[in-house]
Structure 1
Amino acid sequence: MGRGRAKAKQTKVARDLKYRTFETDFGALARELHGDDEDAEQAEPEKYDRWSEHPDPRRD
């Protein structure tokens, strides 16, 4: 008892996902997955330049 509502909700969500049309920006998705964001490339060197002056304790 009580399983009916949960199953009905799961069915509703599954149908919504199956039949909904999404406007996917595949270019933005590829940039996010591959890290081709120009802002991130500019921020990375600054972060590492700050620590480049200090010796790496693992290499001693």
Structure 2
Amino acid sequence: MGRGRQKAKHTKVARELKYSSPNTNLSALERELGVPSSEPDYEDKWAHLVEDDDETEDDAQTA
């Protein structure tokens, strides 16, 4: 008979977790994770190995 109460408590906790929307302090999270406030621009270090589509189209038109 104890299983019914245990299951009901677990169901109640699961519903609270599913439907609650806690306020998240994003700035505190950034500080904790060590994320810099201004992110540098992404630089693709392999971009020089891949041809751009624009360059191949230009080459095809001039040929």
Instruction: Tell me the TM-score normalised to structure 2 length.
Output: 0.48
Of Structure 1 and Structure 2, which has the larger fraction of its residues in helix? 1
- Alignment TM-score, normalising by the size of structure 1: 0.50
Larger-gyration structure (1/2)? 2
